[in-house]
Amino acid sequence: RTEFALKEIMSSGGAEDDIPQAERKTVTDFCYLLDKSKQLFNGLRDLPQYGQKQWQSYFGRTFDVYTKLWKFQQQHRQVLDNRYGLKRWQIGEIASKIGQLYYHYYLRTSETSYLNEAFSFYSAIRQRSYYSQVNKEDRPELVVKKLRYYARFIVVCLLLNKMDVVKDLVKELSDEIEDYTHRFNTEDQVEWNLVLQEVAAFIEADPVMVLNDDNTIVITSNRLSETGAPLLEQGMIVGQLALADALIIGNCNNQVKFSELTIDMFRMLQALEREPMNLASQMNKPGMQSTEKPARRENPHKYLLYKPTFSQLYTFLAASFKELPANSVLLIYLSATGVFPSGRSDSEGPYDFGGVLTNSNRDIINGDALHKRNQSYKEMHCLHPGDLYPFTRKPLFIIVDSSNSVAYKNFTNLFGQPLVCLLSPTAYPKALQDQSQRGSLFTLFLNNPLMAFLFVSGLSSMRRGLWEKCQDYLRKINRDIAQLLTHSRSIDQSFLQFFGDEFLRLLLTRFIFCSATMRMHKIFRETRNYPESYPQLPRDETVENPHLQKHILELASILDVRNVFLENTLDDY
C-alpha cells in the first residue's frame, strides 16, 4: 500500500529521480507511520470491552505510534506538503484520532484528566481550522468525518460541563449538516438532524437554572470535590471498604440520551468521579507521558451499558466481580423500565416479583413466543433480584431507579457480606410536573440534591448567591446526616461498612436527604412516593429524625418555600 502511495505521490511531484533521497525517505517514513497508526487504531475495536488488564499494552503501543506520527508531521511539514501533498484535513484526522484515543482511555480508566487531553486535541482542530477545506472537495465521506468529529467533541464537552462550548458546537454542526444535505442530497439527513435534537434535549434536561447577575447561566459541576463528601470525624466507626468498580446501566424507554448515554447514566457517572485535574498537555506532547496515573486520585472504574441484553449485562458483571480487588465494593446502578410478574405465584422467591428490563433486540432466544403464552414462566428479558445473588459473595452496593424498584426489597443476604440496595420511589405524585423524560428525580437527588430540592419546591431558577448559600447549608445537613448514621444504635452494619468510602458516603447521605425531603413534602403522601432500602433504615434515627426535619424546614425557609412542606411532623415527637 505504501509503495503504491509513494509512486503516486512522487510522480505528481516531478520525475522520481529529481527527488532527493532524504525527502523520499521522509515520505516513506510518514506513509509507514500513517499505515501503522491506522492498523493499530482499527485493532482497538477488536479488544474485549470488559476486563481491565488486556488492553493496556495495546493502547500504549497505539499512543506511541500516534505520538511519533504527530511529531513527525510537525517536523517535516514542508517536505510532506511538497512531496506528499499533505492536506490540512489529514492533519485534522490525526489530531481527531488522538482525541478519540484519550476519550477511550478515559472510558477504560475512569480517570477524568484524560477528558481534558481529548478536549485539548479537539479544540486545536477547531482553532486551527483543520477541516475548513473539506467543504471545497466534492467528497461526501470527508464531510461525514467532519460531522463525526463535531459529535465526538460535543460528547467530551458535555462530560466536562463545558456547556458554552457545546452551544457553539451545536450551532456550527447545524450549519454543517444543512450545507452537507443541501450539497449532496444524502439519505442520512434524518439521522444527523436526530443527533442535533438529542443534544439540544440533553442540554435542557436540568429542571432548574442557576443565574449570574447578568442572567447568564452558571455551569454547576456535580463531581466529587475536596469539600464534597462529609468528613469522617473522631469517634465514627466505619468500614475500610473502597468502591473499586461500578456498572452504570441505562434502559429507560423515552429518556433523553446522547451518544450511548441516557441523562440518568450521565448524572450517575459524574456522581462517581472526582473533579478532573488538568494534566497540562501541550499539542506537541500527546502520548504515554500523560497516561501515568496522578497520585491518590483514583476514581472507581466504570462500565457504561446502554440498553444491554441480559447476556451483555451478565458478562460485564462477571468480569467486574472477577477482577474486584480485596476489601473493595462493586456498585450496580440500574436505571431501567420496570418489568412486573405476568402471572400469580404462590411463592415469594427472588424470581417472583419481576425486576427491571434488559434489552431483547439483540438476544434472540428460541421459544420466546412460547414464554409469552405461558403465564407460569418467569420474564426472560428482565434482571431479577435473584440474578444478582451469586455476586453477593463480595461487598455489593445496588441502586435501582425504576417503577419496579421494590422488587429488590425482597433480597436475602446469603453470604453475610456487606450488601445495601437503595431503591427509588415506584411512582411520583401526579401534581408534580412529569419530568421523567428529562431524567429521574431520584437520580437527580443522588447527583445534585439541591437542584432536586428546588424542583420539588416548584422553583425553576435561582440567583448564584442564594444557590451558594444553600449549598453551604446542604453541606451542614450532610455532616449531620453522617452523625445520625454513625451514631445510630439499630442501623444495619452494612451501611457503616460502606460509609468509609467517600463516594458511597455521599450517596448514602444524599439518599437520606432525598427520603426525608419526600416524606415531609405535602404532595408526596403515598408509600410508593418514598424511596426504600434493603436493609431498612431505622426511620426515627434517619429519614424521620426530628433534627433532620428541622434542617429541611430551615433550608425551605432560606428559599421561601416552607409552605410546600409539612410542619406538623415535628409535633409527633
What cell numbers appear for 137 in the block?
472537495
Instruction: Give the distance from CA 169 to its chain's centroid.
Output: 20
- Spatial CB neighbours of 326, under 8 Å, sequence gap ≥ 6: none
C-alpha 64/C-alpha 81 separation (Å) is: 24
What is the SS3 assignment for 322-346?
A: HHCCCCEEEEEEEEECEECCCCCCC
Average pLDDT on 538-545 reads 94
* Other Cβ atoms closer than 10 A to 313: 22
Q: Is 79 left (phi over 0), alpha (psi -120 to 50) or beta?
A: alpha
Most confident by average pLDDT, 175-179, 364-368, 394-398: 394-398
Which of 122-131, 364-373, 471-480 is least confident?
Answer: 364-373
3-state DSSP: the chain helix, strand, coil percent, rounded to 5? 55, 10, 35
Q: Which amino acid is at 168?
A: D
| pLDDT given for residue 378 in this prediction | 83
Do 96 and 122 form a contact (C-beta atoms < 8 A)? yes
- pTM higher than the cut 0.85: yes
What's the confidence (pLDDT) of residue 16? 54
E-assigned strands of 389-499?
396-401, 419-423, 461-463
DSSP 17-68: GGS-HHHHHHHHHHHHHHHHHHHHHHHGGGS-SS-SSTHHHHHHHHHHHHHH
State residue 284's pLDDT score.
Answer: 38
Average pLDDT estimate for 511-534? 96
Per-residue model confidence as pLDDT tens digits over 97-111: 999 999 999 998 898
Asked if the model's pLDDT at residue 177 lies above 70, the reply is yes
Buried-state track 103-115, b at ≥16 Cβ within 10 A, e below 16: bbbbebbbbbbbb
Determine the 3-state secondary structure of 462 from DSSP: strand
The percent of residues above 70 in pLDDT, for the chain, comes to: 88
Rounded-to-integer distance, Cα 363 and Cα 235, Å: 51
E runs forming strands in 87-232: 209-211
Q: In this predicted structure, what is the pLDDT of residue 1?
A: 45
- The owner of cell 451542614 is 476
pLDDT at 312: 94
Residue-wise over 464-494: b if at least 16 C-beta within 10 A, else e?
eeebeebeebbeebbebbbebbbebeebbeb
Residue-level pLDDT at 2 = 47
**Residues near 390 by Cβ (< 8 Å), separated by ≥ 6?**
none
For the chain, what is the mean pLDDT? 87
Strand partners, 224: 274
> CA quadruple 105, 110, 114, 118: dihedral positive or negative?
positive
Q: Which CATH number does 242-275+298-360+377-564 carry?
A: 3.40.50
Q: State the pLDDT confidence band at 31, using cuts at 50, 70 and 90.
A: very high
Closest CA to 152 of 181, 176, 121, 183: 121
| Model pLDDT for residues 122-171, shown as the tens digit of each residue | 999 999 999 988 878 888 889 999 999 999 999 999 999 999 999 999 99
The answer to whether 549 touches 516, Cβ cutoff 8 Å, is: yes
Average pLDDT in the 323-332 region?
95
pLDDT tens for residues 296-326?
558 999 999 999 999 999 999 999 999 999 9
- Please tell me which residue, 474 or 295, carries the higher pLDDT value: 474
Nearest to 112 by CA among 267, 301, 241: 301
| 527 within 8 A of 518, measured Cβ to Cβ | no
CA distances from residue 308 to 260, 271, 317, 355, 571 in whole angstroms, order as listed: 11, 21, 12, 15, 48
Nearest Cα residue to 170 out of 189, 193, 139? 193
Cell matching residue 261: 448515554
- pLDDT score for 137: 80
Q: What is the pLDDT of residue 298?
A: 82
pLDDT in tens, 369-381: 434 445 668 888 9
Does the pLDDT of residue 220 top 90, yes or no? no
236-263 tens-digit pLDDT: 788 899 999 999 999 998 899 998 899 9
- The structural domains of the chain, with segments of one domain joined by +, span 15-207, 242-275+298-360+377-564
Q: What architecture is the 15-207 domain classified under in CATH? A: Alpha Horseshoe (1.25)
User: pLDDT tens across 57-97, in order?
Assistant: 888 899 999 999 999 999 999 999 988 889 999 999 999 99
Sort strands 261-262 and 301-306 into parallel, antiparallel or unpaired. unpaired
Which has more pLDDT, 418 or 362? 418
Reply yes or no on whether the pLDDT at 7 is more than 60: no
Cell reading at 276: 478532573
* Most confident segment among 55-59, 484-488, 528-532: 528-532
264 contacts 335 by C-beta, under 8 angstroms: yes
Residue 230 pLDDT: 81
Going from the C-alpha of 94 to that of each of 131, 229, 286, 523, the distances in angstroms are 12, 40, 11, 56
**pLDDT interval class at 525 (50, 70, 90):** very high
C-alpha–C-alpha distance, residues 89 and 87, integer Å: 5
pLDDT tier, 569 (very low <50, low <70, confident <90, very high otherwise): low
Q: What is the pLDDT of residue 17?
A: 55
Q: In the predicted model, what is the mean pLDDT of residues 211-225?
A: 87
Kindly state the cell numbers that stand for 145. Answer: 468525518
Higher pLDDT, 190 or 54: 190
pLDDT tens profile 253-297: 889 999 889 999 999 999 999 987 654 433 334 444 444 444 455
What pLDDT does residue 254 have?
84
Contact 541, 490 (CB under 8 A): yes
* pLDDT at residue 448, rounded to an integer: 95
Instruction: Match 514542508 to its residue by C-alpha cell.
Output: 78
Burial code of 332-352, b = ≥16 C-beta within 10 A, e = fewer?
A: bbbbbebbebeeeeeeeebbb
Does 349 score more than 80 pLDDT?
yes
